[in-house]
């Protein structure tokens, strides 16, 4: 039961410094109204950018908490970069599920892309950010994945210089992702329900992406995203 | 768009023989009322036990469909066995999500287990079976995972003779699952939210299970299930 208690007391802060912790409205509400944490309690917080802090709740005011004994630890970012660029699914809960699982598994960056077969062409970034924060807290990470703004496939693929660039494409027989993973830096493109178009595939090849397979199973978009993340993350374990 | 149409016309039958196809109530409804498939249409069906059939809708009666030109193909079962025994999550939708993803990724057998830290101790097997059928259809598989009745951890672990038996246990430093996978037959035990107890861990070791790690990330139960399935399935690709 001790494990549970610790878990509940891991929070997300917009900014953490040795003198001040800035909490978002949701986290303030969660600490003061939902969990009703009392003064004197020591809690743990992360800013999702490598800082983990412990702090003592000194007093709870109407709009802010005074903390004392702020102790900061900096966790270095993993050298293994895993960026997944993925077409948001028509059913948004499937995409939200992908964000949660990608965070747990340890993806460093996620970019939602609009492809020619995409059915969903807009996103509520604020809602998705909350899911990333919740998953970061739940899995007690010090680093929250970077979530980039929605961008068109063509605009996205031209701007990337990460070493291992891959496109999961169903239309061609190709090597399995697991056999092509780059030592440290990987970026995988995952298409929408209808897959990438042949034109998109060719455009990616011109930009130095390698075609990869995720195996013989037909995977939904969000499953392909999670499977890609798992393959790369396991390679780095 | 052709791809979509094909996908919609993949159905599940309780029984398929060269002379007769027996459809469940849900599938009958889906074909006749939801998709309103007209007579003369050729559809594809699976029984989830290795048969894929094409058949012509000859006539639609009040309670059954007459099929003609039933063509049967038998798909051999994979020699790579992957059995996941997993504690159902308190939030049932997380467990349902695991069932869907495990089917897509190609798990052959799933057993829900009750552990000492389990919060959920009952399941609606009929509802879960529908999820397995939907995922089998969606990923166009010929084999649906076997879904066993809920059983206690201790009763389960004594009855297994599969070669590669593993328990994902957090309390001990251990080899990564990816480095211990058996060539063909694997069974992975995944615990509930609170993890396996040390007693359960020891009991499993006595039954020949090996302790494995799924890496340095804290994974939720359902994520650990999907990650285990991915690691084993990818090994076999």
Q: For chain A, give every residue range classified as CATH 2.40.240.20.
A: 2-74
Average pLDDT over residues A151-157: 97
With an 8 Å Cβ cutoff, are B178 and A237 in contact? yes
A173 touches chain B (CB under 8 A): no
Q: Tell the residue number behind the tokens 């930009």, with chain if given.
A: A207
Specify the pLDDT at position B171.
73
- In the predicted model, what is the mean pLDDT of residues A86-105? 97
In this prediction, residue A237 has a pLDDT band, given cuts at 50, 70 and 90, of confident
Q: How many CB atoms lie within 10 A of CB A150?
A: 17
Q: At which residue do the structure tokens 């969606």 appear?
A: B138
A36 interface with B at CB cutoff 8 Å: no
Q: Which fold has domain B2-74?
A: Ribosomal Protein L25; Chain P (2.40.240)
Residues 6+ apart with CB under 8 A from A155: none
Please, are residues A212 and A174 in contact by the beta-carbon 8 Å criterion?
yes
Residue A6 has pLDDT above 50, yes or no: no
Lowest mean pLDDT among A4-8, A98-102, B182-186: A4-8
CATH T-level fold of B81-235: Alpha/beta knot (3.40.1280)
Residues of chain B with C-beta less than 8 angstroms from the C-beta of A234: 176, 178, 215, 227, 230-231, 234
CA B187 to CA B200: how far, in whole Å? 16
Q: Which of B105, B194, B215 sits opposite A227 (nearest CB)?
A: B105
A2 has pLDDT over 50: no
* Residues in A 40-99 with any Cβ partner in B closer than 8 A: 97
Is ipTM over 0.85? yes
pLDDT of residue B8: 58
In which residue ranges of chain A is CATH 3.40.1280.10 found?
81-235
What pLDDT sits at residue A4? 38
pLDDT tens for chain B, residues 1 to 237: 333 344 458 999 999 999 999 999 999 999 999 999 999 999 999 999 999 999 999 999 998 999 999 999 999 999 999 999 999 999 999 999 999 999 999 999 999 999 999 999 999 999 999 999 999 999 999 999 999 999 999 999 998 989 999 999 987 789 999 999 988 999 999 999 989 999 999 999 999 999 999 998 999 999 999 999 999 999 888
Distances (CA, A) of A3 to A7, A8, A139, B46, B115: 6, 9, 13, 45, 17
**What are the tens digits of pLDDT across the range A182-191?**
889 999 999 9
pLDDT reported for residue A8: 57
Locate the chain B residue with the closest alpha carbon to A1.
Answer: B194
Helices (H) and strands (E) in chain B, counts: 7, 13
- Residue in A closest to B219 by C-alpha: A104
Rg of chain A over all Cα atoms, to the nearest angstrom: 20
| Any B CB within 8 A of A140 CB | yes
A223 interfacial to chain B (CB closer than 8 Å)? yes
pLDDT digit string, tens, across residues A161-208: 899 999 999 877 899 999 999 889 999 999 999 899 999 999 999 999
For residue A218, give the nearest of B97, B140, B218 by CB distance.
B140
């Amino acid at each position: 039961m001790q494990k549970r208690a610790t878990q509940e007391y891991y929070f997300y802060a917009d900014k953490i410094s040795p003198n001040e912790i800035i909490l978002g409205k949701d986290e303030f509400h969660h600490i003061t109204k939902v969990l009703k944490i009392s003064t004197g309690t020591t809690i743990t917080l992360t800013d999702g950018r490598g800082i983990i802090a412990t702090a003592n709740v000194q007093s709870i005011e109407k709009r802010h908490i005074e903390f004392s004994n702020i102790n900061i630890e900096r966790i270095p970012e993993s050298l293994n970069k895993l960026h997944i660029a993925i077409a948001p699914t028509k059913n948004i809960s499937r995409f939200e599920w992908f964000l949660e699982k990608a965070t747990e598994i340890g993806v460093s960056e996620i970019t939602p892309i609009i492809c020619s077969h995409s059915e969903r062409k807009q996103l509520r970034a604020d809602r998705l950010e909350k899911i990333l924060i919740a998953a970061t807290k739940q899995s007690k990470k010090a680093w929250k994945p970077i979530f980039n703004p929605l961008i068109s496939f063509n605009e996205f693929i031209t701007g990337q210089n990460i070493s291992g660039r891959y496109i999961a494409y169903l239309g061609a027989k190709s090597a399995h992702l697991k056999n092509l993973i780059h030592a440290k830096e990987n970026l995988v493109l995952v298409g929408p329900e209808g897959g990438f178009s042949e034109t998109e595939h060719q455009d990616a090849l011109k930009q130095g992406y390698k075609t990869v397979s995720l195996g013989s199973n037909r995977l939904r978009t969000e499953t392909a995203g999670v499977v890609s993340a798992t393959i790369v993350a396991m390679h780095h374990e």
